[in-house]
């Protein structure tokens, strides 16, 4: 990060700070935000974590999570803390439209903004940018940030647990975006007392019966395989959402099952939401879903994990997605 000395000076006296992460926060959004929250609190800053929408129940155990302010449920309180902020950290998102209304609220403010993020093509909306598209997770970058500030010794157990959560969720339990550096960091987190077995149990063995049956329904009744394009699709309708009483976060990870097939390179999980159709895309190897999400579905993300949306109905969106595949046939078959 350029101007790290300036930022160090800003943080040398207690400040009112907010940390913002993206809509529909995942383990990395919450893990990185709460890790930074605990770190900054330990230096006497007054810190608030702001989320545009509610976090999934599976993260209820995380230290500090109940302190998060959710714009959807507490818009007035959110406005109040945002107005008081002297510094604004933006974590795990690369453009203000990823935080909806909260983006409009912070854009005109004079408070300095600091971006810490690992998504491709970050937009230059922040005063300080820490962008590393090779990082496994924003949580890994929060660790890097603390090191950069010269505070390795100040990392407490709560910070370590939150960093671990961001890393373990964004790497699919150390399956992708790993590096020797990442494993060294994780080793240090364990040395600080993180109980990795307990945390993985809390995070990944948390489904209820209904969710496991929903997974079965997706694989048995809603999956379509297009062998010619090495592509798998799972599409859920509004009725599926009603029948299975699906709530936020409960479909997390279903898209990855498609990639368990040897001959699949591209996976799409397409869901009918109240106002939009949401696409969750995954790929193997060099095939970039970021390209498809950005060019055709107003989205983005990473090479092997991206998302986007469409204002067209589910059927039309599915048709559009399938009609794109011939264009990518050659690269899909190169894997
Ligand atoms: P997921 O499929 O798990 O929702 O998201 C996968 C990746 O794509 C995440 O890094 C997420 O930030 C990004 N992503 C998901 N939806 C969108 C979207 O609508 N717009 C953009 N720019 N990125 C998205
Ligand atoms: Mn992330």
How many separate domains does the chain show? 2
The DSSP result for 16-64, as a single string, is EEEEE--SS--HHHHHHHHHHHHHHHTTT-EEEEEESSPPPGGGTTSTT
- Final residue of a domain: which of 140, 169, 204? 204
- Sort 73 into a burial class: Cβ within 10 Å, 0-12 / 13-18 / 19+: exposed
Which of 154, 178, 204 is the endpoint of a domain?
Answer: 204
Q: Pocket of ligand 1, candidates 252, 279, 306: which has the most ligand atoms within 8 Å of its Cβ, to mutate? A: 306
Dist CA 178 CA 182 (whole Å):
6
The finding on whether 27 has its CB within 6 A of some atom of ligand 1 is no
Distance, CA 117 to ligand 2 centroid (Å)? 7
Range of the domain at 243: 209-332
CATH of the domain at 306: 3.10.310.30
- Residue linked to tokens 């090479």: 303
Q: Measured from the CB, is residue 305 less than 6 Å from ligand 1?
A: yes
| CATH number for position 95 | 3.90.1640.10
> Do residues 162 and 82 share a domain?
yes
Is the model's pTM score more than 0.85?
Answer: yes
- Residue 133 CB neighbour total at 10 angstroms: 13
Which of 158, 184, 204 is the C-terminal boundary of a domain?
204
Residues 172 and 228 in one domain: no
Q: Whose CA is nearest to atom 2 of ligand 1?
A: 280
Strand partners, 17: 47, 87
- Per-residue confidence of the chain (335 residues) as pLDDT tens digits? 778 999 999 999 999 999 999 999 999 999 999 999 999 999 999 999 999 999 999 999 999 999 999 999 999 999 999 999 999 999 999 999 999 999 999 999 999 999 999 999 999 999 999 999 999 999 999 999 999 999 999 999 999 999 999 999 999 999 999 999 999 999 999 999 999 999 999 999 999 999 999 999 999 999 999 999 999 999 999 999 999 999 988 999 999 999 999 999 999 999 999 999 999 999 999 999 999 999 999 999 999 999 999 999 999 999 999 999 999 999 999 97
Same domain, 226 and 98: no
Distance from residue 113's CA to the centre of ligand 1 (Å): 22
């Amino acid at each position: 990060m350029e101007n790290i000395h300036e930022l160090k000076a800003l943080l040398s006296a207690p400040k009112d700070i907010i940390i913002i992460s993206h809509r529909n926060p995942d383990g990395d959004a919450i893990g990185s935000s709460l890790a930074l929250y605990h770190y900054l609190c330990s230096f006497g800053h007054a810190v608030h974590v702001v989320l545009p929408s509610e976090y999934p129940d599976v993260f209820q155990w995380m230290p500090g999570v109940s302190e998060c302010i959710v714009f959807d449920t507490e818009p007035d309180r959110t406005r109040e803390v945002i107005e008081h902020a002297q510094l604004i950290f933006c974590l795990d998102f690369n453009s203000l439209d990823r935080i909806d209304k909260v983006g409009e609220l912070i854009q005109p403010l004079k408070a300095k903004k600091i971006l810490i993020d690992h998504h491709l093509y970050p937009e230059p909306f922040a005063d300080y940018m820490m962008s590393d598209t090779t990082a496994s997770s924003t949580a890994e970058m929060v660790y890097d940030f603390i090191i950069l500030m010269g505070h390795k010794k100040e990392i407490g157990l709560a910070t370590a647990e939150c960093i671990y959560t961001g890393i373990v969720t964004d790497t699919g339990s150390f399956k992708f975006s790993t590096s020797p550096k990442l494993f060294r960091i994780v080793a240090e987190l364990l040395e600080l007392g993180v109980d990795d077995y307990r945390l993985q149990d809390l995070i990944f063995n948390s489904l209820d019966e209904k969710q496991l049956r929903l997974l079965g329904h997706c694989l048995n009744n809603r999956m379509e395989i297009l062998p010619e394009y090495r592509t798998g699709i799972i599409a859920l309708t509004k009725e599926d959402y009603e029948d299975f009483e699906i709530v936020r976060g409960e479909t997390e990870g279903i898209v990855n099952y498609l990639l368990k097939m040897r001959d699949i390179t591209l996976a799409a999980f397409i869901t009918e939401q109240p106002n939009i159709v949401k696409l969750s895309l995954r790929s193997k190897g060099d095939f970039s879903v970021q390209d498809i999400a950005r060019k055709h579905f107003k989205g983005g993300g990473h090479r092997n994990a991206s998302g986007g949306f469409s204002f067209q109905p589910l059927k039309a969106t599915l048709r559009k997605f399938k009609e794109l595949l011939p264009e990518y046939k050659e690269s899909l078959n190169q894997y």
